[in-house]
Structure 1
Amino acid sequence: MQITVFGPLRSAAGGKTADVAPSGETVRDLLDAFVARYPNAETHLCDDEGDVRPSVRVMIGDRPVSLDDAVPDGETVKLFPAMRGG
């Protein structure tokens, strides 16, 4: 599955798109697969306990989704890292 990534995730993934193969069907599974493939992205997505930061945004098509939502085949997925600073 191809994901469009933004901000510092582009550096971690080596470009503006990333290919991952999630083991499940949810957004959480997709994020787990992304971090497993691109470990440098973890600090931008997860806190010290390994939980997804509240400001991380995932969009499928043009709508924001939650971690437990399904990721339909063939959909465009966009991943925005946690926002920092002020």
Structure 2
Amino acid sequence: MDVTVYGPLRAATGSKTVEVPVDGDTVGAVIAALVDAYPRTESQLVDEAGELRPSVRVMIDGDNAEYSDRVPPGASVEIFPAMRGG
């Protein structure tokens, strides 16, 4: 599945859009696949308890998505980590 990442996630993935093998059809499965493929993304996406950080936004086909939401085949997935600065 192609995943587009923004902000500091690009430094961890080396590219704006990456392809990751996803085992499942939920936002959580996409996040897990991204962390497996790019371990440096973990601290930006999940907290110590393994939960998605509240500041992370996931968009599926342009709509906000929750951790348990289904990701249809061929959907556009975008992940926005917390942005810092002013």
Distance in 2 (CA, whole Å) between partners of 1:55 and 1:5 is 14
Question: What is the Cα deviation at residue 53 of structure 1?
Answer: 0.4
Q: Which runs of 4+ in 1 moved over 4 A?
A: none
Which has the higher mean CA deviation after the structures are superposed, 59-68 or 44-53? 44-53
Say how many residue pairs are matched.
Answer: 86
Alignment of 1:4-15 (within 5 A): 4-15=4-15
Q: TM-score, normalised by structure 1?
A: 0.92
Distance in 1 (CA, whole Å) between partners of 2:47 and 2:69 is 21
1:27 equivalent to 2:30? Answer no
Question: What is the Cα deviation at residue 82 of structure 1?
Answer: 2.7
User: Mind listing any 5+ residue stretches in structure 1 that lack a counterpart?
Assistant: none
CA RMSD of aligned residues (A): 1.3
Counterpart residue number, 2:73 = 73
Q: TM-score, normalised by structure 2?
A: 0.92
SS at match of 2:58: strand
1:50 equivalent to 2:43? Answer no
Q: Could you tell me the percent identity over the aligned residues? A: 50
Distance in 2 (CA, whole Å) between partners of 1:18 and 1:55 is 21
Question: What is the Cα deviation at residue 49 of structure 1?
Answer: 2.0
